[in-house]
Amino acid sequence: MVSLTGYMNKKGQKRVIPGFGLTLGITISMLGIIVLIPLCSLVIYTAKLSPKQFIDIITGKRVLYAYWVSFSTAFVASLINAVMGVIMAWVLVKYEFPGKKIMDGMIELPFALPTAVAGIALTHLTTTDGWIGSLADKAGIKIAYTKTGIIFALVFVGIPFVVRSVQPVLTKMDNSYEEAMEILGATPFRTFRKVIFPEIFPALFGGFTMAFARCLGEYGSVVFIAGNKPFETEIAPLMIMSKLQEFDYTAATSIALLMLITAFVILMINSVIQYKAAKKAK
Amino acid sequence: MRKENKLVKWIMISICALFLFVMLVLPLGYIIYTSLSDGVKSFISSVTDEYTIKAMKLTIITTLWAVGINTVFGLCASWCLTRFDFKGKKVISALIDLPLTISPVIAGLVFLLTYGRQSVLYPLLEKFGISIIFAVPGVIIATIFVTFPYISREIIPVLNSIGTDEEEAAALMGMNGFEIFRKITFPHIRWAFLFGVVLCSARAMGEFGAVSVLSGHLKGLTNTLPLHVEMLYQGYDFTGAFAVSSLLILMAVVILILRNILEKK
């Protein structure tokens, strides 16, 4: 059905529902003040940099290493969350067990808990005399102040993303495919690989990229556990922070710009995949 | 269900339970345990410390500002994006979601460049005696930025799904805009709106990266609770840091419970 408002617009007549000018005006002016003007100032500031300056800064050894640390830890953490997220979504959708509601309600805790609080708690747990750290130390693994520690913190931050994007897809999915596969004698693993995985893949990938983008920029929970040693556990957001503390705005802006571009590229890849999946579903 | 499947079921449940226990329950338990380890007295004295109370006041003020501004914005934006068709609609909704994808540290940096010493706006601000960077307004504006999309994102899907028929009918019968909103639209979006407010306040209370860039860490002036926790921690006052953290945990748990209640409505 053609909506009345849409129809009236095409005719160029007055809209039926009032408030267009007022709400649009407020929306655009607030958007301008909070989002657009600040972003413009970033662009203006970057335009002052010469390309050589920019390239010199972002290819500095310490900066490149910080990017590598951020990228690799965010990737591994998001991968762990992708696997655990699918398992958790599966358990929460397909099984009934006591305590299920509490488990389901807990998933969003990383969103609700301030990152700094999570950071110091995880650090203390994983130092060599912490509850988890002392166990790991016996096995010869050090967690706090290493890359493992960064991954640990990022896994915490990224927990909700994959679970919450896969859960609705699994809920909607009909059991009949799985039953048919079982009757036909397929192993559960084969059923998962051939039937379930292709169905949940777009949602899984969406959750993965959101978690990845979030982990790349994460600061609060990581600074405490990372130890922040240059060429070892220094992450890119921390590089920006330390450049700012030296009032070296040029360097901070250059590093930030590359991170912004990376985040946009990741999100664009995701939207292409989501678009293709939506097209295929039709 | 076959026996083998039952075994798989319980193995999967145990994996999840173990994972969530280590990642979520243990850190929370640890903070509360440590904050009480020096006795209730020292817990109370760190929680009622002068600077903790100042930090809490600032956190509450910041959260109220963020929720207030984002309520006005969220309601207006979702009304104009779902009730009307116009050019540039997609651009606006993409811009609204932008703060979600930007690292908090970069958000802080962006405001530093806008209102800081090297900005074109700086002479103007100085003339009027307004300081934003390393002052309370900077903390508030950074918080508004990071929580910007939270309320509109919850309302937009609901408004899209209920359609415009009722509102059109009301408008044709001569109700004015505010009446339509109050009597017809708002009852539909009430729970989604509250849900957005809860998410927005959670993020506003806990924001660390962006606020940390802009606050300048002035003790008792621009320290929010999370920054206060960091300051205590870096001064090796672990009991104090954990005691203040348990306040934030309490808030987080309350928020989670509210969230779960609202989600069911």
Cα(B30)–Cα(A108) distance, rounded to whole angstroms?
A: 19
User: Is the same domain home to B44 and B28?
Assistant: no
CATH number of the domain encompassing residue A185:
1.10.3720.10
**Contact by Cβ (8 Å): A233, A226:** yes
A4 touches B at CB < 8 Å:
yes
Whether A270 is covered by a domain: the verdict is yes
Are B111 and B66 in a shared domain? yes
Q: How many domains does chain B have?
A: 2
Please count the other Cβ atoms lying within 10 Å of the Cβ belonging to residue B43: 20
- Say yes or no: B50 and B133 in one domain: yes
Q: CB contact, 8 Å: B30 with chain A?
A: yes
Domain extent, residue B9, equals 1-35
A10 domain residue, yes or no:
no
Which band of pLDDT confidence, cut at 50, 70 and 90, is reported for residue A3?
A: very low
- Domain range enclosing A175: 53-281
Q: Determine, yes or no, domain membership for A267.
A: yes
Same domain, yes or no: B177 and B116? yes
User: Which phi and psi (to 5°) does residue B38 adopt?
Assistant: -90, 15
- The answer on B228 and B128 residing in a single domain is yes
Same domain as B236, residue B182: yes
CATH of the domain at B66: 1.10.3720.10
Task: Give the pLDDT confidence of B39-96 residue by residue, as tens digits.
Answer: 888 888 888 888 999 999 999 999 999 999 999 999 999 999 998 888 888 888 888 8
Tokens 């931050």 identify what position?
Answer: A157
The verdict on B80 and B195 lying in the same domain is yes
Whether A6 and chain B come into contact, CB under 8 Å, resolves to yes
B170 → chain A, closest CA residue: A17
CB A166 within 8 A of CB A85: yes
B105/A219 CB distance under 8 A? yes
- Give the minimum alpha-carbon distance from B167 to chain A in angstroms, rounded to a whole number: 7
Query: Residue A58 is encoded by which pair of tokens?
Result: 């972002």
pLDDT of residue A6: 44
Same domain, B91 and B2: no
Question: Does one domain contain both B19 and B130?
Answer: no
Question: The complex's ipTM?
Answer: 0.87
Closest-CA distance of chain A to residue B84, Å:
7
Quick check: A170 and A89 in contact, CB under 8 A? Answer: yes
Same domain, B92 and B217: yes
If asked whether residues B153 and B237 sit together in one domain, one would say yes
For chain A positions 214-243, those within 8 Å of chain B (CB to CB) are 216-220, 224, 237, 240-241
Please check whether residue A255 lies inside any domain of the structure.
Answer: yes
B8 and B77 assigned to the same domain:
no
Q: CA of A280 to nearest chain B CA: how many angstroms apart?
A: 23
User: Which of A99, A106, A259 minimises the CB distance to B106?
Assistant: A259
**A19 located within any domain:** no
Q: Is residue A9 part of a domain?
A: no
Task: Give the residue from A144, A155, A149 showing the smallest Cα distance to A74.
Answer: A155
pLDDT per residue rounded down to tens, chain B (265 residues)? 456 678 888 999 999 999 999 999 999 999 888 888 878 888 888 888 889 999 999 999 999 999 999 999 999 999 999 988 888 888 888 888 888 888 999 999 999 988 887 777 788 887 888 888 888 999 999 999 999 999 998 999 899 888 888 888 888 888 888 888 888 899 999 999 999 999 999 999 999 989 998 887 778 788 899 999 999 998 888 888 999 999 999 988 998 898 888 887 7
User: Is some CB atom of chain A closer than 8 A to the CB atom of B125?
Assistant: no
The rounded percent of chain B whose pLDDT value lies above 90 is 41
Among A228, A87, A224, which Cα is nearest to A152's?
A224
Please check whether residue A111 lies inside any domain of the structure. Answer: yes
Total number of domains constituting chain A:
1
- Other CB atoms within 10 A of residue A84 CB: 20
User: Which of A27, A30, A167 should be substituted to probe chain B, the one whose Cβ sees the most B Cβ atoms within 10 Å?
Assistant: A27
